[in-house]
């Protein structure tokens, strides 16, 4: 029974071994990116409603007759909402863009390994070249996969947050 439970772990370690050292870096980048995406999702589910209600109530509680000052208070609250909503989004976008580049780095290092094997053993040893080709293709595939998943999640979270903040902006501007 222990064998079947440890099989995914062994497969993951085998994947890391076959992909080379760049896979570890991609794994760390993926963990950071997913952590930031989950943080934005938690912000959208828990904190955005409270922040929006606070911003709207601050504008409603403003009892000044001066239109210019009242407009500045509205703009301040919209800016606070925008800044809190877009926190860490640029970092997530940067990590998404970094993943394919790290995959390309893995491709280059894997191909260098293939050429080293060819230089040492000659072109006839296909088995020795296969491990280098695996090291060349696995990081590229992993980097693209992480990037695509991150892009889908970021787009979904971004559109949800933008929709909610636009509703609050409209509410604030009509007050």
Query: So what's the pLDDT on residue 120?
Result: 79
From CA 167, how far away is CA 14, in angstroms rounded?
49
Average pLDDT over residues 132-159: 91
Q: What is the pLDDT of residues 99-126, one digit of tens each?
A: 999 999 999 988 888 887 777 777 666 7
From CA 134, how far away is CA 124, in angstroms rounded?
17
Average pLDDT over residues 6-34: 83
Mean pLDDT for the chain overall: 86
Instruction: Give the count of domains, the chain.
Output: 1
Q: Is residue 11 part of a domain?
A: no
Q: Is the pLDDT of residue 150 over 90?
A: yes
Average pLDDT over residues 38-66: 89
Query: So what's the pLDDT on residue 90?
Result: 94
Confidence of residue 31 (pLDDT cuts 50, 70, 90): very high
pTM: 0.83
Q: Which of 27, 84, 30, 32 is nearest to 55 (CA)?
A: 84
For every residue of 44-93, DSSP letters joined together read IIIIHHHHHHHHHHHHHH-----HHHHHHHHHHHHHHHHHHHTTTHHHHH
Q: Is residue 102 part of a domain?
A: yes
Q: Is the pLDDT of residue 6 over 60?
A: no
Query: So what's the pLDDT on residue 9?
Result: 57
Start-end of H helices in 86-125: 89-121
Q: Is the pLDDT of residue 96 over 90?
A: yes
Q: Is residue 109 part of a domain?
A: yes
Range of the domain at 44: 32-174
Q: Is the pLDDT of residue 41 over 60?
A: yes
């Amino acid at each position: 029974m222990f064998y079947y439970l440890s099989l995914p772990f062994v497969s993951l370690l085998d994947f890391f071994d076959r992909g080379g050292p760049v896979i570890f870096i991609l794994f760390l980048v993926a963990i950071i990116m997913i952590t930031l995406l989950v943080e934005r999702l938690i912000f959208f589910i828990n904190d955005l409603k409270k922040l929006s209600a606070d911003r709207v109530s601050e504008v409603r509680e403003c009892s000044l007759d001066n239109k210019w000052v009242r407009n500045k208070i509205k703009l301040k609250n919209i800016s606070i909402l925008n800044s809190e909503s877009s926190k860490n989004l640029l970092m997530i976008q940067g990590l998404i863009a970094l993943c394919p580049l790290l995959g390309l780095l893995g491709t280059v290092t894997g191909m260098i390994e293939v050429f080293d094997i060819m230089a040492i053993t000659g072109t006839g040893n296909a088995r020795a070249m296969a491990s280098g080709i695996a090291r060349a293709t696995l990081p590229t595939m992993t980097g693209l996969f992480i990037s695509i998943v991150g892009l889908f999640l970021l787009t979904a979270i971004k559109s949800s947050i933008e929709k909610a903040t636009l509703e609050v902006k409209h509410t604030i501007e009509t007050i």
